[in-house]
């Protein structure tokens, strides 16, 4: 009882401190979560970690993570959309956003808006992107009230070519390249409600298409095998890196509040339902041992028979993203607080055990960029001090070197940081409008700091 009272008092004290911070300190008002993880081909120690509070880059296998704020990436556009960041072998960084495709060619300091359609003053929402094994980039547009298309670039995003999927009524929602045959590409789209000639409504539907020649010709795949939600949407989640005909797609919301996962072994001609999830499917990943990992924020699953059947994983983090690195290490986004206490974890297999790589309290510093860049003038000079206070981030002991040794930290609180650090970050979430959800999570919390 005494311990619980003390914890409550600490929360109230930190809440008062957070509410007194300037408005810029509250960043974009979103709950801090990691959303995507990617690696630069040929440079496995470089980790690109997307999150709701900005982009995080590590060049030393996760020993240090440097922060890039949303303002540097998105410019003046809405930053509530989480890009699926892709990194090319030359270090070029791609971010699909609601205001178009943004590209960084200088290690993350500046971001140019790609002129996908040079004649437009406003570039369209890029809802999905994929990067092929030879650096070919495909993007899918989903702008409301405008003509959408799928484009590809073979010169690092300097020029884009439409692939013949122009539509005024379809939002293109996913695009996946087959690594074993980059000429094979799958896309899916959502056709919005239409008005019929008699004034009635034409219900929305989905489109699943594939090309086997890099976009010259397209085939419409049957959708009759899918169970669809009332607001139908199908997303291609993953294509086998070994077999271009083996792929997975999820019917969003078809098992409310979760999804239905489908498998095709014949290039999308037929589909078999293989998994009903309790929560939305966040990621499907083919692993080097030929197993398949499916991640949700409640339960994650693994298949050892090519995705025909799945078993629930025990001890896995609340997986919102996952990717296997060239060296076989498996990385996954987890919950920064309860129950994972790991915003990024690593394991040698989906079965675990999982080890913490990063939490938001472990951010090192803003990415160092020249004066005159948004990253320097806004992220570093205006916002970083408040971010430090919010998460309880400590200054590094001297400038971190790329080959700095791993420093083993002794846990001084129940969250692998100091108790006050964790309280500060949690109360930040309360202050920016997610208090009710966080309080509910707190009631379910099993770990007792007093034990």
Domains of the chain: 114-281 (2.120.10.10)
Question: What's the mean pLDDT in 413-435?
Answer: 40
- Band of pLDDT at residue 397, cut at 50, 70 and 90: low
Report whether pLDDT(427) > 50.
no
Residue of higher predicted confidence among 160 and 10: 160
How far apart are the C-alpha atoms of 126 and 117, rounded to whole Å? 12
Q: Can you read off the two tokens belonging to residue 259?
A: 């999804």
- What is the rounded CA–CA span in Å between residue 48 and residue 342? 16
Can you give the pLDDT at residue 195? 73
Residue 194 predicted with pLDDT over 80: no
55 versus 432: the higher-pLDDT residue is 55
Is the per-residue pLDDT at 178 higher than 60? Answer: yes
By percentage, how much of the chain surpasses pLDDT 90? 75
93 compared with 31, residue with greater pLDDT? 93
Confidence of residue 449 (pLDDT cuts 50, 70, 90): very low
Please, what is the average pLDDT of the chain? 85
């Amino acid at each position: 009882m005494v311990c619980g009272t003390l914890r409550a008092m600490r929360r109230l004290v930190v809440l008062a401190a957070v509410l007194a911070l300037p408005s810029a300190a509250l960043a974009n008002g979103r709950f801090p979560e990691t959303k995507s993880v990617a690696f630069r081909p040929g440079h496995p120690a470089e980790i690109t970690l997307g999150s709701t509070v900005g982009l995080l880059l590590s060049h030393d296998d996760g020993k240090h993570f440097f922060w890039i704020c949303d303002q540097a990436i998105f410019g003046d556009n809405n930053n509530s959309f989480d890009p699926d960041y892709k990194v090319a072998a030359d270090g070029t960084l791609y971010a699909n956003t609601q205001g178009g495709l943004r590209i960084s060619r200088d290690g993350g300091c500046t971001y140019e808006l790609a002129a996908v359609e040079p004649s437009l003053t406003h570039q369209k929402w890029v809802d999905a992107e994929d990067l092929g094994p030879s650096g070919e980039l495909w993007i899918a547009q989903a702008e409301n009230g405008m003509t959408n298309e799928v484009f590809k670039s073979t010169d690092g995003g300097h020029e884009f070519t439409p692939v013949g999927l122009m539509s005024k009524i379809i939002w293109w929602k996913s695009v996946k390249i087959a690594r074993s045959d980059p000429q094979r590409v799958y896309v899916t789209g959502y056709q919005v409600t239409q008005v019929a000639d008699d004034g009635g409504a034409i219900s929305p539907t989905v489109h699943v298409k594939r090309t086997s020649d890099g976009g010259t010709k397209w085939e419409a795949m049957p959708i009759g095998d899918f169970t669809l939600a009332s607001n139908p949407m199908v997303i291609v989640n993953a294509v086998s890196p070994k077999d271009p005909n083996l792929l997975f797609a999820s019917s969003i919301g078809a098992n409310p509040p979760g999804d239905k996962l489908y498998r095709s072994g014949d290039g999308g001609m037929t589909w078999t339902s293989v998994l009903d999830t309790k929560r939305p499917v966040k990621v499907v990943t083919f692993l080097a041992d030929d197993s398949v990992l499916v991640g949700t924020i409640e339960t994650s699953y693994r298949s050892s028979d090519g995705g025909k059947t799945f078993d629930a994983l025990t001890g896995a983090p609340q997986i919102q993203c996952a990717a296997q690195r060239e060296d076989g290490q498996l990385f996954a986004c987890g919950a920064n607080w309860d129950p994972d206490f790991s915003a990024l974890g690593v394991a040698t297999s989906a079965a675990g055990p999982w080890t913490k790589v990063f939490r938001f309290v472990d951010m090192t510093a803003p990415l160092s960029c020249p004066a005159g860049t948004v990253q320097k003038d806004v992220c570093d000079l205006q916002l970083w001090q408040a971010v430090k206070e919010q998460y309880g981030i400590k200054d590094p002991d001297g400038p971190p070197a790329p080959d700095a040794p791993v420093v083993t930290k002794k846990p001084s609180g129940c969250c692998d940081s100091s108790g006050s650090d964790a309280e500060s970050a949690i109360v930040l979430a309360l202050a920016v409008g997610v208090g009710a959800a966080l309080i509910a999570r707190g009631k379910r919390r099993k770990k007792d700091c007093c034990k």
